A and B are shown apart, each in its own frame.
Chain A
Amino acid sequence: MTDYGHPLRFGTFVTPSAQDPEATVGLARLAEDLGYDLVTFQDHPYQPRFLDTWTLLSYVASATERIHVAPDVANVPMRPPAVLARAAASLDLLSGGRVDLALGAGAFWDAMVSMGVDRLTPGESVDALAEAIEVIRAIWGEDGESELFVPGRHHRLDGATPGPGTTRRIPVWLGALGPRMLRLVGERADGWLPSLGRVGLDGLRAGNARIDAAATAAGRDPREITRLLNVSGTFDDADGANGLGGAPDLHGAPAAWVDRLLPLVLDEGVSTLVLATDDERTTRRFAEEVVPALREQVAHERAARGTDTSRVVPLAVRAARRDGIAYDEIPSTLAERAVEPGDAAYAGVRSNYLRGGSPGLVLRPRDTAEVVEALAFARAQAVTRDVPLSVRSGGHGISGRSTNDGGVVVDLGALDTIEVLDDAARLVRVGPGARWGEVAAALSPRGWAITSGDYGGVGVGGLATAGGIGFLGRAHGLTIDHVRAVELVLADGSVVRASDDENPDLFWAVRGAGSQVGIVTSFDLVADEVAGVGFAQMVHDASDLAGFLERWGATVEAAPRDTTSFLLVGRPRPGQPVVAQSMTMVDSDDPDTVLARLQPFAAIAPLLAQATAQIVPYDAVVSAPQPGSHGGQGEPVSRSGLLEHLTPEAAARLAGLVLSGDTYFFQIRSTGGAAEDVPADATAYAHRSARFSVVAMGASRSRLDARWDALADVFDGMYLSFDTDRRPETHAARLADAFPPATLDRLREIKRRVDPANVFRDNLPVLGPDPVDATTAGAR
């Protein structure tokens, strides 16, 4: 006899009548309108008077917006579990996480056998259900395996692939009565869903005891199992019809219902009550007259008894928690989507594109208000003193780390809207979690584009706060040059807008050092008219690497602004010529212009493969890969430098770096052009005279750092987000590379004002790598 302290939820149990499908769907809509949390349908696939339950659930989920749907309960013998699992995952994706999966071992075996099902004994059917749960959970990816094997006697997987990935962990509830089924609930399920008319009060009590014992024996907290109950009732004194058959469980006036239900909640632990009725009036009266009174009395009693109503965290998840994070205090708005190390979703959120991570908590806010909450929570955690807060948009951060070890990550992926604000002005509002390929695809039908980088998988937030050296850079400038306003959450939780007119200091800082001043929650960007682009990929013989780099640089500088070229030089291989690959974009859809621009690039050196050149929409080049989780491992080793010209000396020394073999990825992007038109002091990105951005990645940090240090005089500045040098002794030098003195002074002044505690210190922090205590800050 216990109250597990679960939140109260209410559902309906609607007969899936095939006779009048519209009425059936209408009852589900009514339940949603009346504020029910859940609508359920029984599943008897041998019953021709009923609609197929899975079809109906899917249809109803599509026809509603908020309410959850569940079978009550799904007939597992007639629904192969692997397909059922993918169906549930699909409905989860389509409905935004509104499906719950209640399963049953099957009853009415004569009817099932008549439909072609093999007859099982009661014992076998429990075994089969246990196997089915294994299959379903494996397909949902809960085992973390990429190839699935479940060698069951009744249900098997033999090399199947998990997926599709769900938006949440779909709960599995079991309809159970017998001792073996109840044990299975305790060991494996997330909920127990009997019907009061069949289980009875004594059965409920005994069932809970069995479940709790089995859960404890399996190393689970009995609170991990939600107790649901189908109940029937009539507000008349006479017996009313109900879908469960038999006499109704509840009679009389609403107050009498409350009296009967209250002890079920407070003493028997039931928290989800599913009312079996097809009567509109009963559905309405329950919602309007029983639910509010019951909620009130339960809340009152729980408060009086001191019932633990905290969020339920499985013991296995609790065991994987990290120190310094008050997990049980995560605000309820964030808690459901939060991911911690023991969660099934953790594998998909721990790493970024290039970096392995083991964060202690990933918060996934959905809007600005939730970002504020997430930030406040993160700031309050002890761990945030030692492990800087990570902010993630698309998860491609190189120096903006976007993951960590043991700390808090605020993942902005859900803030991914792309909305046109003003057609005439080509003004677009984009969330930080959108990816540039998605932005490109959204703008393409209007003949618009916003230059970003060279890859559509990169998130908006990180790039649009750092600079953005992209394929249309010489034609249209940096990405930050397209920002007209931002909404920004500051360290103290205040939400401000920044533009030329509002908070101009912040607007200046956000464009080049945004990660240091706050979390941008939306960008207003001006798009350019880009009808189509010429795009060419060429593979050049770069045997004379120094000469090649010099000629490529000169070719770029001689080209009109409509042309931007990026160069990638492969690691030298013994006995083979050095190979360079150029990717060149021309902001024109005129074939003659494109050809004229590309010819000088083809003439730099012999081509080793047929050049490909075509006129395509911009979004065909910068396209978003399928969304999915990142699987980065280890730490990237990357260095960055900017320079004005690829002089013979610069070219020779960069060639020396490539030929040393200490870099496996060496890229030069051309910039300048329109980016040069903006004064150096207009944004926190000040390197307006730079025409080339060089990035080298290496396997060995010490070797690449040594090589790069020796090149220091070649460069004039660096691109903030491409450099991972984190040696304490070079911190000041890297800051000087990223920000010229006047820029750095202004940034520090702003930083002391808006983030005196140095909360945002993940990416080359201008106030140093350590948190600043309030007392220290005040003394400055």
Chain B
Amino acid sequence: MPDYGHDLRFGSFVTPSAAAPHQVVALAELSEEVGLDLVTFQDHPYQAAFLDTWTLLSWVAARTERIRLAGNVLNLPLRPPAVLARSVASLDRLSGGRVELGLGAGGFWDPIVAMGGERLTPGESVDALSEGIDVIRGLWDTSTRERLVAGGAHHHVDGAKRGPAPAHDVEIWVGALKPRMLRLVGAKADGWLPSLPYLQSFEALARGNATIDAAAEDAGRDPRAVRRLLNVGGGFSADGGGGFLRGSPRQWAEQIAEVTLEHGVSTYVVMGDDPTTLAVVGQEVAPAARDLVAAARGVPAPAPAAPDGATADGEVRA
């Protein structure tokens, strides 16, 4: 499937290094200063060299004003979903609606077990994620006062009070690679957030999109309800001979526009902790790519997305 028509966003992927907490925070602040739309942090709660991602997100939220924040992606096995739902809603309320929920099923089971978590099979972990999403969405939904009953074998709430509601419709973005997870994305998630180095090719991206689209349609959803995000690595050089996101800012913009129009990716999260790269992406690549995409779509380039989610990008929410 081609372009899903979402507005283009650009983000950073800052290593949450515990050895240099103030540098981590400074890179997040820089991400906002250079005009990026999103700052994200990986979440490996078993990794002793990293800061706790949720604490860091909360800290950064208080030191920024405009930029969106997300885990990339939060480790559900070590973050029970009922408390996570309230944490996300709380930070969304504290930050004026700037939090999105990147969520993963967990992958490194030995260290998860070392931290006191339970070992799940890959299949079980997908089920657990599905249950977790139901629990989270249920607790956020304050349109009814009915006590929430949701989840299943892994995550279960039975008669929980709902709320607080987030300040905006928080999107749930799922890190997924394999078909079962992709089908879950199509059925339930608001976004797909893979990493290009793991996908390894745009063919894999296309296959993933197709799986998601089919699953969305099976679930009665418009495939456009699922935002397509992508973690990408890159660097700038004059000659650009090195492939995807290795050339000049202009070449970056052209390559990004092409991937947006062909594969529907609309949020690019740039890995690496290089401040210069972030600045060039925010100040040069992002506007140029937006112009190219807008021209190809035949509409005026949209303004960068507002934190309250009130964008005019025509996206459809299931």
CB atoms of A91 and B135 under 8 A apart = no
A338 CA / B111 CA spacing, docked (Å): 34
Counting contact residues on chain A (CB < 8 A from B), the size range is 35 or more
Chain A positions 92-115 with a Cβ under 8 Å from a chain B Cβ: 93-95, 111, 113-115
Taking a contact as CB atoms under 8 Å apart, the answer to whether B78 and A83 are in contact is yes
Contact of B94 among A56, A111, A148, A161 (CB under 8 A): A56
Bound together, the chains give a CA A76 to CA B78 distance in angstroms of: 14
Binds B, one of A44-52, A307-315, A545-553, A605-613: A44-52
Closest A residue to B142 by beta carbon equals: A48
Contact between A55 and B163, CB atoms less than 8 A apart:
no
Contact yes or no, B48 A21, CB < 8 A: no
With contact pairs A56-B90, A163-B48 given, residues A114 and B115 touching in the complex (Cβ less than 8 Å)? no
- Nearest Cβ on chain A to B292's Cβ, whole angstroms: 31
Q: How far is the CA of A58 from the CA of B111 in the complex (A)?
A: 25
**Contact, CB under 8 Å: B52 / A116:** no
A333 at the interface (CB under 8 A from B): no
Is A51 in contact with B19, judged by CB distance below 8 angstroms? no
In Å, the complex CA distance between A537 and B162 comes to 63
Contact residues of B between 44 and 95, Cβ < 8 Å to A: 45-46, 48-52, 54-56, 58-63, 78-80, 82-83, 86-87, 89-91, 93-94
Residues of B within 8 A of A156 (CB): 116
A618 at the A/B interface (Cβ < 8 Å)?
no
A82 and B164 within 8 A (CB): no
Residues of B with C-beta under 8 A to A157 = 114-116
B156 within 8 A of A: yes
B207, CB-defined interface residue at 8 Å? no
Bound-state Cα–Cα, A549 to B91, Å: 64
Given A45-B83, A160-B115, does the pair A115, B160 have CB atoms closer than 8 Å? yes
- Select the residue from A21, A46, A157 with max chain B CB neighbours within 10 A: A21
Query: Is B159 on the interface with A (CB-CB < 8 A)?
Result: yes
Q: Is the CB of B21 within 8 A of A94?
A: yes
- Is B147 in contact with chain A by the CB < 8 A criterion? yes
Contact between chains at B58 and A58 (CB < 8 Å): yes
Q: Are B86 and A48 in contact, CB atoms less than 8 angstroms apart?
A: yes
Question: Given A51-B164, A82-B115 in contact, is the A164-B49 Cβ separation under 8 Å?
Answer: yes
Are A83 and B164 in contact, CB atoms less than 8 angstroms apart?
A: no
A738 interface residue (CB < 8 Å to B): no
Q: Would you call B151 and A63 a contact (CB within 8 A)?
A: no
The answer to whether A162 has its CB under 8 Å from any CB of chain B is: yes
* Interface 1/0 per residue, B152-178 and A, CB below 8 Å: 000111111111100000000000000
Q: Is A687 located at the chain interface by the 8 A CB criterion?
A: no
Interface status of B113 (Cβ within 8 A of chain A): yes
Given contacts A114-B147, A115-B157, A164-B48, contact A51 B94 (CB under 8 A): yes
Whether A59 is near chain B, meaning CB under 8 Å from some CB there, is yes
Query: CB distance B61 to A59 under 8 Å?
Result: yes
Q: Is the CB of A116 within 8 A of B51?
A: no
B48–A116 touching, CB < 8 Å: no
Assess A159 versus B91: contact at CB under 8 Å? Given A91-B59, A116-B80.
Answer: no
Q: Which of A101-144 contact B (CB under 8 A)?
A: 111, 113-116, 135, 139
List A contacts of B50 (CB < 8 A).
164
For residue A85, which residue of chain B has the nearest CB? B52
The total of interchain contacts (Cβ-Cβ below 8 angstroms) comes to: 180
Q: Which of B19, B63, B79, B159 contacts A62 (CB 8 A)?
A: B63
- A156's nearest neighbour on chain B, judged by CB, is B116
In the complex, A55→B60 CA distance in Å? 11
Q: Is the CB of A55 within 8 A of B116?
A: no
Would B93 and A80 count as touching, CB distance under 8 A? no
Contacts A18-B164, A55-B87, A94-B51: A83 and B79 contacting too (C-beta < 8 A)? yes
Chain B's closest residue to A81 (CB) is B116
Please give the distance in Å from B139's CB to the nearest CB on chain A.
8
Is A480 positioned at the interface, with any CB of B under 8 Å from its CB?
Answer: no
Decide yes or no whether A86 CB sits under 8 A from chain B: yes
The answer to the question of A87 belonging to the interface, with a C-beta cut-off of 8 Å to chain B, is yes
Instruction: Assess A45 versus B79: contact at CB under 8 Å? Given A93-B18, A116-B135, A164-B48.
Output: no
Q: In the complex the two chains form, is B83's CB within 8 Å of A163's CB?
A: no
Any A CB within 8 A of the CB of B25: yes
Measured between beta carbons, the chain B residues less than 8 angstroms from A135 are 116
Contact, CB under 8 Å: A18 / B163? yes
- Is B52 a contact of A114 with CB atoms below 8 Å? no
Contact B80 A113 (CB under 8 A): no
CB-CB < 8 A to A628: which residues of B?
19
Q: Cβ of B45 and Cβ of A79 under 8 Å apart?
A: no
Q: Is A155 an interface residue (CB 8 A)?
A: yes
Which residues from A are CB-within-8-Å of B160?
46, 114-116
Q: Are B94 and A25 in contact (CB under 8 A)?
A: yes
CB distance from B154 to the nearest CB of A (A): 9
Judged by a CB distance under 8 angstroms, whether A626 is at the interface is yes
Could you tell me if A52 and B18 are in contact, using CB atoms closer than 8 angstroms? no
Residue of A whose beta carbon sits closest to that of B115: A82
Q: How far is the CB of A602 from the nearest CB of chain B, in Å?
A: 26
Docked-complex contact B157 and A90, CB < 8 angstroms:
no
Residues of A within 8 Å of B59, CB to CB, are: 58-59, 61-62, 91, 94-95
Known contacts A45-B86, A156-B116, A87 near B164 by CB under 8 Å: no
A627: Cβ under 8 A from any B Cβ: yes
Q: Does A158 contact B (CB under 8 A)?
A: yes
| The residue from B21, B139, B158 contacting A93, defined by CB atoms under 8 A apart | B21
B164 touches A48 (CB 8 A): yes
Chain A min CB distance to B228 (Å): 28
Question: Could you list 11 examples of A-B contacts with CB < 8 Å?
Answer: A59-B94, A90-B55, A94-B25, A115-B157, A115-B160, A116-B158, A158-B114, A159-B110, A160-B115, A626-B49, A628-B19
The 10 closest A-B pairs by CB, nearest first: A163-B48, A48-B163, A164-B18, A58-B58, A62-B62, A18-B164, A90-B52, A87-B52, A52-B90, A51-B90
Given contacts A114-B159, A164-B49, A164-B51, list 6 more A-B pairs with CB under 8 A. A18-B164, A50-B164, A59-B94, A116-B82, A165-B18, A626-B20
